[in-house]
Every structure is written in structure tokens, then in C-alpha cells.
Amino acid sequence: MKLKNVENKDGVENMSVEIIFKNVENESNVPRLGGYSFLPEHIDWPLNPDGDKLTLVLCLPTDFLNKTLDLNLPKAHLLSVFTTYKKDDYFLDLITFHGDKEELKNIKEGFTRVLLHEAGDIRNESDFLIPAQEFILGDELNLDLEEVDEENLDDIEIYCGSLIGPKPSLLQIENIGLDDYQFCLQIYGGDFPEGFHDIFSLSDSIGYLFLNKNVDQNDAGVFFTQCT
């Protein structure tokens, strides 16, 4: 099965749109950051290669992604995105990817995880629980800077927040080496609730989610951060 991504009159269409957030219950089955996981009991809680339990950062119902991005993920499933997170130790290099093969190897070895699964009971085995924030779709974003004259580029305010759609903002590599994946959304560290602005180590880091074009529960996607 392959993902599709074409114009969708009921969704994002060909424009990325900003994501804004509102408080929601931690067990709500809505597109959100943080909150409890719905990871079924038969799936082990993800650990990174150092044996640390990962922390849930995104819970995304596939029905929402299918409608919003015109994808064809399995219905009534969830995409759960986990990351390494440490309060007192440096961990930025473990979750960062700027095109280097060793960085991508770190990511794929499990310092972050993207899991596609059916919904189980609410669950959290991380040392941390991020207060849940529901996605609210905001304004369309013009991210095409090719039409801007270079002499006017310094006057353009480039969007650096959270968004969903076909095109990322501030992704620092043109050829990122993820040909088997397609961009889904990005989350700005500063958009996390108070106390978790350092979820990606630095508050101005951005987390990028790419989904496998060939739908695969064992390799649902890649999640990594970059610092602007």
C-alpha cells in the first residue's frame, strides 16, 4: 500500500497550514501533542539504544491524517511519535538529523520512534507526561520563497512554528536522503506546554515528521529535530 497526497478540498490541499493548540484531556483521542499513549499492551514501550524509555510527543489518529492530507493510512489507527528526552543530561545530538548518515542511523536505531498501531487502553511508561494539547488548524502559509527577490529576502518574516501539510519550513537540507518518505508535519519546541519547552533539548528546535510512502507498521516514519 502506498500513501497518496493530492489536492483535497476538505483538507490542507497543496498549502501547509499552521497548527495552534488548546488544552485537552490527556486521554482524548484527538490529534494532539503529549498526553497518554494508546499503545496496545502487546507492544513493548519503546526504549532507545541506551535503554531509556522514550516519551510520547505526538498522538495522531490516522482518520485525521487521511482527511487532512488525503492519505490512505489504515482507518481507525494511530500514529504515536516518541522521542528521547532527558531533563538533566545533554541529548540533542541523539535526535538531530541534518543529512548525515550517522545521524540518520542514530534516529533509526531508536532514539526516536514512529509507531502505527490500533488503539489500546491509555498508558504511560515514560518518566514524563506532557500535558496534552489538541491540534487546531489555522491559517494557510505561503512558504514559497522562490518568488521573493533576494534584495527583499531580509524583510520577509519566515514562519518557524508548527504546521501540517505538504511543505516544511526551515528544513535545513535540500536533499535530505529520505526519498522513501514524505513530509507530514513539523512541531516547534516552544509550542509545548510550560516545563516542556526543552522537549527537543533547545526551545527553538523543530521536530519534523516524515511518513513512509509504503505504509509499513514496522517502519511507519521518521522523526527528527533540527535547530534554527
The amino acid that residue 188 corresponds to is: Y
pLDDT string in tens for the chain (228-residue length): 555 443 444 555 578 999 999 999 999 999 999 999 999 999 999 999 999 999 999 999 999 999 999 999 999 999 999 999 999 899 999 999 988 888 888 899 999 999 999 999 999 999 999 999 999 999 998 776 544 444 444 444 677 799 999 989 888 765 667 889 999 999 999 999 999 999 999 888 999 999 999 887 888 999 999 986
Which CATH code fits 18-138+157-227?
2.30.320.10
Q: Which pLDDT score is estimated for 8?
A: 42
Q: Which pLDDT score is estimated for 150?
A: 46
Q: Which pLDDT score is estimated for 152?
A: 45
Q: Which pLDDT score is estimated for 83?
A: 98
Quick check: 39 and 117 in contact, CB under 8 A? yes
Q: Which pLDDT score is estimated for 144?
A: 66
Q: Which pLDDT score is estimated for 228?
A: 63
Domain boundaries, the chain: 18-138+157-227
